[in-house]
Structure 1
């Protein structure tokens, strides 16, 4: 369990600190940064797959139509999620990104009810309603729906749903996801280079090295996450995941100096309350289920 907690904390701390990483490339367009992220992520995971002698398993990982459709959906959804996140970070919307990842678990639960016909308890329904009120309050304050937060939450929740459908190995799944969009990214990078609009040459040596390490920054937390889910109960992983949006929120306020009003605080308190209520209800439900399973028949 100790190892699992270490893996989980490392995962969500890295994801929470990603705004610092992407902000180093704020002179580049979000599309150019995204293309490099996909390119170097594919290179990194492909090397690992080859070294691990698992490339021969790639084709066998997606044999039926369902898995092929699911992995294509995974690729498109995570690409959209990455693009929105990178753009939002470099356009000073880090608070909205943190809100999106606070909302994500509750959106995922809602999708599980709609698409997987899972049953929710009263406390879980109340948590979703409470979070909805928080988002509505934010929408009134902003004067518009917080589409960045909702887009991030929805794309990542749908990504998780597609992952569940695909049932792919973590390493092979990530390889397929980056492989599908790799040609588009490569074409885009070649195109902007030919047009003379690429900004890669303007980066300093240290920034260039960090950009090349985007594959490592993308893949390693996913591997740590996979290890954490193997070693820990899902309820504990779910609770630890709030490290990521909390870290991003603190960065937005104290490092990037984004405005955080009392109205926003009220909305966040509602959403935090919803997450606490959901976590407590889920924990108690899981505990009761485990106790029932241990009762001798």
Structure 2
């Protein structure tokens, strides 16, 4: 059995979150393709590349466990629908000038996870966790007050990913086999979409002789590489420590939105971000205190 190496875990974790944080650069490169068509190909190429990767990177017994527990297939079908919704919302947001809202959604996500754990799993929140959730709620409420409507992109991204994680807990399948099964379960819908849309860009024979075809085919590796890095990192460092790296991805998205793509970050939005950042700081402080208590000698 390999020995955990925290430094290696840190490098792998940073690699995963850096790739996730730089996803907008990839999606901007194919923004001329409709978001739904991009997701169809993300499903197709992830299913293919994931299956090939499973042949090389063995996960003994995963298929037997699924076969013996068919309920898990239903759970993975539901989680697949949620992750497809998350992917579609994210790609549409990036390619339609809403990256600031997308980053806000992923800042909200860890706090929403805590709230769902309380509401649906019966977990009790500590006082600082309550304060963190209330600060995040204040940030969302401020956006509603200023905009006159819910920040639906942020909330849809946060909710779809939070419920995705919650549902996946009900099907204890390793990340790579789970993603492969999810994409295979989505294949009929993806192939059906292509058959029903003969005018789609990727349905034209000439499309596959251009560079856009290579960009679409890259959706498989682009999806799987950070996932593999993340799971390898989780074996070399504590999951709590790895969780602190998750803020890197939305921070990179926010910086790209403002500095590279010229999206405005106005006063009302900045105030909402400030509330949520403060909530995350409180949440992180509470997590650190809990980690120290768990690791300190009795």
TM-score (norm 2): 0.92
CA contact (8 A) 1:39 1:182 kept: yes
CA change 1:181–1:149 in 2 (3 A) is same
* Map 1:36-185 → 2, pairs under 5 A: 36-52=41-57, 57-185=62-190
- By how many angstroms is 1:71 displaced? 1.1
Q: Deviations along 1:121-180, whole A, 9 cap, x unmatched?
A: 100100000010011111222221001000000000011111111110222111101000
Q: Deviations along 1:25-50, whole A, 9 cap, x unmatched?
A: 21111110100000000000111123
Query: Which 10-residue stretch deviates more, 282-291 or 239-248?
Result: 282-291
Q: Deviations along 1:95-116, whole A, 9 cap, x unmatched?
A: 0100000000001111111222
Runs of 5+ in structure 1 lacking a partner? none
CA change 1:273–1:203 in 2 (3 A) is farther
- When the two structures are aligned, how many residues end up with a matched partner? 291
Q: Deviations along 1:195-240, whole A, 9 cap, x unmatched?
A: x233564587333212101000001111111112222222211111
* Map 1:273-288 → 2, pairs under 5 A: 273-288=278-293
CA contact (8 A) 1:192 1:198 kept: no
Q: Deviations along 1:216-265, whole A, 9 cap, x unmatched?
A: 00011111111122222222111111000000000100111011102211
Task: Please tell me whether residue 197 in structure 1 is matched to residue 200 in structure 2.
Answer: yes
Out of 256, 261, 271, the residue aligned to residue 266 of structure 1 is 271
Out of 8, 13, 18, the residue aligned to residue 13 of structure 1 is 18
Using the alignment, how far apart are the partners of 1:109 and 1:6 within structure 2?
27
Using the alignment, how far apart are the partners of 2:260 and 2:209 within structure 1?
22
- RMSD between aligned residues: 1.8
Runs of 5+ in structure 2 lacking a partner? 1-5
CA change 1:59–1:244 in 2 (3 A) is same
Q: What secondary structure, in the 3-state scheme, does the structure 2 residue paired with 1:73 have?
A: helix
CA contact (8 A) 1:239 1:279 kept: yes
Q: What secondary structure, in the 3-state scheme, does the structure 2 residue paired with 1:108 have?
A: helix
Q: What secondary structure, in the 3-state scheme, does the structure 2 residue paired with 1:28 have?
A: coil
TM-score (norm 1): 0.93
Using the alignment, how far apart are the partners of 2:176 and 2:42 within structure 1?
17
CA change 1:55–1:208 in 2 (3 A) is farther
CA contact (8 A) 2:30 2:215 kept: no
